[in-house]
Structure 1
Amino acid sequence: MIHHFAIAVKDFDTSHHFYTEVMGFKLVAGVKRMAPGGGWTKHMFYDMGRGKFMAIWDLKGIEGVQVQPDEWRSAISKGLGLPGWINHFAFECSGEEEMQERKQRWLDAGYHVSETDHAFIRSIYTYDPDGNWIEWTYDTRPVNEADRIEAEEILADDTPSTIPDYEGTFTRSTAQKYRAPPRQPAR
């Protein structure tokens, strides 16, 4: 069972706004410490619900000490040279009503939304400010023995798929995205 996951972000203030105002997660804890190897960091924790957390690293204190600002990428897929949808974060919602509320919240905040019906879940997707693929999803039915058998068959079959990618809708937002104002240097 996952307790939390943590990601580093390029623009902490914009990402903080995304995860609190757009995703609706509450900031619940923070740690500010010297970093191994020099510099310092902030490790900020957000409540995702059901006692589970995510954390955002603010690495400005190690930039120029351990890493160069222009040399690291924060998107977990694109930073590795993969398409943005490969590695992603899926957050659970209660059902269709909450999913539609989440979708509208994304659209109102300037984020485009893709929707997909999978075999046993329904999902919506957008990119966070760092280019990470973010998903809200809910179960449409329980996973059953037939699903497990199909998974075993897929696992053993290395022939190319002939089934097209999922079809779904894409809704383009017309709202302006939030961008944090530049921070003033510490004195």
Structure 2
Amino acid sequence: MAYHHLALAAKDMKATHAFYEGIMGFELVKVEVAPIMTGGWGKHFFYRMDGDDSRFIAFWELHDTEGSEDYVYDINAAAKLPPGTNHYSFSVDSKQELKDWKQKWLAAGLDVFEIDHNWCHSIYTRDPNGNSVEFCLTTGTFTETDRQRALDALSETEFTPSPPPAFMQLWNAKKVDSR
């Protein structure tokens, strides 16, 4: 079973649109404008990913809703969790595609955190709402030993770290020469 869409609230819908359509390349294909059950109204914008009419990321622009001055749009800040805990990840099919996304994000003025987790290779940035966005390439396979380690971790109460990442670097957009 796959998901249909992920829906999040947007602090600034125009900036969110510039990021998700202009940088990420997701096409805005639909908006639903409707009342909100608790009062006010909203615009629910749907962005198609990779030309697939069954996979979307969607954003709410809320209007006249009670308590809006206290809304927190970064899902980790709202949940009082460490940055990057909650995030969304999009799949890439090759190291070149991952590299291309890193360069695209840097050229757009976005900082990029890169990490090789030893079984997948990821890059992360933040969207205009402060949420962590990831592109990830699976580079390994899973063994019965991996599954057993995961099952054992369900009941562990002591810190038993995984092997350290093979590579980790923060790429600051302001310091990267894009030539």
TM band (smaller chain)? 0.7 to 0.9
Map of 1:67 onto structure 2: 67
Query: How many Å separate the matches in 2 of 1:94 and 1:39?
Result: 42
The SS at the match of 2:68 is coil
Map of 1:46 onto structure 2: 47
The SS at the match of 2:153 is helix
Map of 2:60 onto structure 1: 57
Displacement, 1:146?
2.1
Query: How many Å separate the matches in 2 of 1:92 and 1:163?
Result: 23
Map of 1:79 onto structure 2: 78
Structure with the higher strand share, 1 or 2: 2
Larger displacement relative to structure 2 (157-166 or 77-86): 157-166
Query: How many Å separate the matches in 1 of 2:161 and 2:6?
Result: 35
The SS at the match of 1:168 is strand
- 1:172 counterpart = 2:176: no
Q: Which amino acid aligns with 2:55?
A: K
Query: How many Å separate the matches in 1 of 2:49 and 2:144?
Result: 30
Question: Which ranges of 4 or more aligned residues in structure 1 deviate by more than 4 Å?
Answer: 162-165
Query: How many Å separate the matches in 2 of 1:72 and 1:39?
Result: 14
Q: Which amino acid aligns with 1:127?
A: R
Q: Deviations over 1:65-111 (max 9, x none)?
A: 42232x11000001221111110011111111111111111101111
Q: How many residues align?
A: 171
List aligned pairs for 1:146-165, cutoff 5 A.
Answer: 146-162=145-161
The SS at the match of 1:77 is helix
Query: How many Å separate the matches in 2 of 1:144 and 1:90?
Result: 23
Displacement, 1:154?
1.9
Q: Deviations over 1:3-54 (max 9, x none)?
A: 1110001111001111111111111111111221222110000112343111
- 1:12 counterpart = 2:13: yes
Structure with the higher helix share, 1 or 2: 2
Q: Percent identity?
A: 35
Map of 2:125 onto structure 1: 126
For the structure 1 residues 163 and 127, does the alpha-carbon distance in structure 2 shift closer, same or farther, using more than 3 Å as the test?
same
Query: How many Å separate the matches in 1 of 2:164 and 2:77?
Result: 20
For the structure 1 residues 150 and 119, does the alpha-carbon distance in structure 2 shift closer, same or farther, using more than 3 Å as the test?
farther
The SS at the match of 2:38 is coil
Map of 1:113 onto structure 2: 112
Gaps of 5+ in 2: none
Q: Which amino acid aligns with 1:57?
A: W
